[in-house]
Amino acid sequence: MHNTPEQNEAFRHAWDATNARWKAQTMHDDQQPTHSSTPAEIIDYYDSHLNLTLRELSNMTGRSVAYLKGLIMHPEKVTA
């Protein structure tokens, strides 16, 4: 199954945005997100912990797996 050019462009845009957030990361790698973490902090933590599952992140943040998946895939569409 192949992506359309629009899907590829959307992926590149999301990837670039994620990389920019990661580079500007304010959390330390050993600081886990909590119930009061912002969406940007959650994304940064997820991006820097490659073996972390959404279920584990859900347990840390108190947010649903569905919310976290939407946040990570489409951060511009999710509100805090």
* Digit-coded pLDDT (tens) for 2-55: 888 888 888 888 887 776 676 665 555 567 888 888 998 999 999 989 899 999
**pTM (predicted TM-score):** 0.59
End-to-end CA separation in angstroms for the chain: 33
- Tell me the CA distances in angstroms from 76 to 32, 38, 41, 45, 59, one per residue in order: 23, 13, 14, 17, 23
Residue 31, Ramachandran bin (φ over 0: left; ψ between -120 and 50: alpha; else beta): beta
Q: Give residue limits of the domains in the chain.
A: 5-77
Rounded CA-CA distance 31/28 in Å is 5
